[in-house]
A and B are shown apart, each in its own frame.
Chain A
Amino acid sequence: MTRTTQWEVVIGLETHAQLQTKSKIFSGSSIAFGAEPNVQANAVDIALPGVLPVLNREAVVCAIKFGLAVGATIAPRSVFARKNYFYPDLPKGYQISQFEIPVVLGGGLHIRVGEAEKFVHLTRAHLEEDAGKSLHEDFHGRTGIDLNRAGTPLLEIVTEPEMRSSAEAVAYAKALHALVQWIGICDGNMQEGSFRCDANVSVRPMGQKEFGTRREIKNLNSFRFMQQAIDFEVQWQINEIEEGRSIQQATVLFDPDTGETRSMRSKEDAHDYRYFPDPDLLPLEITPGWIDEVKSGLPELPQAMKQRFETDYGLSSYDAATLTASREMAAYFEVVLALAGRENAKPAANWVMGDLAARLNKDGLEIAAAPLSAQQLAGIICRIADNTISNKIARDVFEALWTGDGKDADAVIEAKGWKQITDTGAIEALVDEVLAANQKSVEEYRAGKEKAFNALVGQAMKATRGKANPQQVTDLLKKKLGA
Chain B
Amino acid sequence: MSLNLEDVARIARLARIELSAAEREATRDQLNDILGFIEQLQAVDTTGIEPMAHAVDVVQRLRPDVVTETDRRADFQAVAPETEAGLYLVPRVVE
A residues with CB within 8 A of B: 21-23, 27-30, 36-43, 46, 48, 54-60, 77, 79, 84, 86-88, 101, 134-136, 139, 141-147, 264-265, 269, 272, 274, 277, 279, 281-285
Contact = CB atoms under 8 A, between A and B. Distances in A.
Given A142-B92, A146-B87, A284 B60 contact: yes
Contacts, number: 131
Nearest to A28: B68
A142 B86 contact: no
B56 to A, nearest CB: 7
B84 A144 contact: yes
B59 interface: yes
B1 to A, nearest CB: 16
B18 interface: no
B73 A88 contact: no
Nearest to A20: B65
A55 B63 contact: yes
A373 to B, nearest CB: 34
The number of chain B residues touching the other chain, given as a range, is: 35 or more
B67 A143 contact: no
B88 A147 contact: yes
Given A22-B66, A143-B89, A264 B95 contact: yes
Given A60-B62, A272-B14, A279-B54, A38 B87 contact: yes
Main secondary structure of the interface of B (DSSP, over half): loop
Interface string B37-49: 0000000000000
Nearest to B88: A145
Given A269-B14, A282-B56, A283-B59, A57 B89 contact: no
Contacts of A46: 76
B60 A39 contact: no
Nearest to B64: A57
B89 A58 contact: no
B88 A144 contact: yes
A130 B55 CA distance: 27
B69 A27 contact: yes
Given A57-B65, A144-B85, 20 more contacts: A21-B65, A23-B66, A23-B68, A28-B63, A29-B67, A36-B86, A38-B73, A57-B63, A86-B16, A142-B82, A143-B89, A144-B84, A146-B86, A146-B87, A264-B95, A269-B13, A277-B54, A279-B54, A279-B55, A282-B61
A42 B76 CA distance: 8
Nearest to B94: A136
B69 A42 contact: yes
Contacts of B92: 136, 141-143
Given A36-B86, A84-B14, A285 B59 contact: yes
Contacts of B21: none
Contacts of B16: 86
B53 interface: yes
Nearest to B95: A264
Given A282-B58, A283-B53, A142 B89 contact: yes
B65 A37 contact: no
Contacts of B68: 23, 28
Nearest to B82: A142
Contacts of A264: 95
Given A274-B14, A282-B56, A58 B65 contact: yes
B93 interface: yes
B90 interface: yes
Contact of B65 (A22, A136, A145): A22
B67 A87 contact: no
B65 A56 contact: yes
B4 interface: no
A282 B88 contact: no
B77 interface: yes
Given A79-B53, A134-B93, A143-B90, A42 B14 contact: no
B63 A88 contact: no
A15 B60 CA distance: 26
